[in-house]
Structure 1
Amino acid sequence: MELFVDLQIASENQADLPSLTLIEQWVCIAIDAGSSKTRKEAELTVRIVDSEESQQLNGDFRAKYKPTNVLSFPFQNPPGITLPLLGDLVICKQVVEKEAMEQNKSLNAHWAHMLIHGTLHLLGYDHIIEEDAVEMESLETKLVLQLGFPAPYNEQE
């Protein structure tokens, strides 16, 4: 599959960010496992932001007035038009770093999980209904383990 990731780094502190190569690897594994059909190509934007932008977007689109780890904005193809565009992921650097520390995970393990989680949302997965959450979290866990990281969920989450 040909993958195009438009990486936008809007965070003032760019230390400890995953490389574009890792981001593409983590997104690709999610697309391959989470797509109901084989894709020849896929395109998405990954925007890494600071807390202020995350909080603004989370408030505007979800009425939750705090920064969040990842926001997913799936692209809806117009009727009769097929494009490889999946949508946009907005990931808050500070929230990812804080969660990784609180959950005693490596930064790369948590970045991988957030990119997989967000990409699955772009593919139509959700976790609002318990049955859907179990399916999505099982797939996330399988993919994170496949990458060599520890399981992303535990009893406290």
Structure 2
Amino acid sequence: MAQQVCSAALAELGLDSERFEIAILACDDARIAELNGDFRAKPTATNVLSWPSEDIDLPIGASPELPDPDPDGPPHELGDIAIAFQTCAREASEQDKPFSDHVSHLLVHATLHLLGFDHINDADAAHMEAIETRILATMGIPDPY
């Protein structure tokens, strides 16, 4: 499922998923709380975390420049995603959403973060949410917002 979802996100942005790699860690709340504490100084469980392979420093409001890997070279490493089963299951239940739809949304969201998209301000959040909604629609998943 993760490969299908991340590939759909890349494809919607015009990127060939065969040219990219994303490492995904499926974990429990205890592990993601540890990661969240180590990397964000927030030692609590969260649904998903992402770490881009390249440092992306964009001004607020700027759109990221999408990577253009060498077609003859090795796949471009986009980064890592950790996703927590327990938090995702709880959130899906609380929001009355199918678990697979919620996880798909979070994987799309994290993939966009690996590419440099963010939601620091309202305009950036609206832009990112619109892209997420468009990607999810290609998979038959309703607007999560």
TM-score w.r.t. the length of structure 2 is 0.81
Q: Does the aligned pair in 2 maintain the 1:48–1:92 contact within 8 Å?
A: yes
- C-alpha distance in 1 between matches for 2:126 and 2:23: 27
Counterpart residue identity of residue 26, structure 1: V
Q: Secondary structure at the match of 1:45?
A: strand
1:97-146, Cα deviation, whole Å (9 max, x unpaired):
01100111001101110110111100111011211111100111111122
Give the total of aligned pairs: 128
Measured in 2, the distance between the counterparts of 1:97 and 1:39 equals: 27
Aligned residue number for residue 76 of structure 1: 54
State the one-letter code of the partner of 1:95.
T
Shift of 1:61: 1.0
Match of 1:131 in 2: 123
Q: Tell me which of the two structures has the higher relative contact order, counting C-alpha pairs closer than 8 angstroms and 6 or more residues apart.
A: 2
Query: What are the ranges of 5 or more consecutive residues in structure 2 without an aligned counterpart?
Result: 56-68
User: Separation in 2 of the partners of 1:142 and 1:86?
Assistant: 21
RMSD: 2.0
Given the alignment of the two structures, is residue 30 of structure 1 paired with residue 9 of structure 2, yes or no? yes
Shift of 1:38: 5.5
Letter in 1 for 2:11: D
- After superposition, residues 1-157 of structure 1 pair within 5 angstroms as 22-34=1-13, 41-76=19-54, 84-153=76-145
Deviation at 1:34, TM superposition (A): 3.6
TM-score, normalization by structure 1 = 0.75
